[in-house]
Amino acid sequence: MSTPDQLYDQAIDLRDGGDKPAAIAKLEEAIAINPEFAIGHGMLAKLYVDLSESEKAIFHAKKVVEIEPDDTFSYTALSVIYQRCGKIPEAEHAKAIAFNKEHGLE
């Protein structure tokens, strides 16, 4: 049985080869093994937004923030996903949280 890290690496190879749906399948397998696999959720968010599946993209980006609530980059990534999905107020909110965390203004 593959580990989440191995599945992630396979997903990267598939993505780089142009097969985003197969990459998504590998990442879904990885998070089924470890639901707290933040990097897998992050890549899923990016791939789903690339495929115009906004709800799934946002779900996975929010999951990263849930898993890593103190990580500034998680909120920045969430902001980018919201922006790419056309949800500008939500993007601005996530960006503000990232800024506040980075500058200790929570």
pLDDT string in tens for the chain (106-residue length): 899 999 999 999 999 999 999 999 999 999 999 999 999 999 999 999 999 999 999 999 999 999 999 999 999 999 999 999 999 999 999 999 999 999 988 6
Which residues constitute the domain of residue 43?
4-102
Burial 1-11 (b: 16+ CB within 10 A, else e): eeebeebbebb
pTM for the complete prediction? Answer: 0.94
**Number of domains forming the structure of the chain:** 1
pLDDT of residue 86: 97
CATH code (residue 32) = 1.25.40.10
pLDDT of residue 84: 97
pLDDT of residue 88: 97
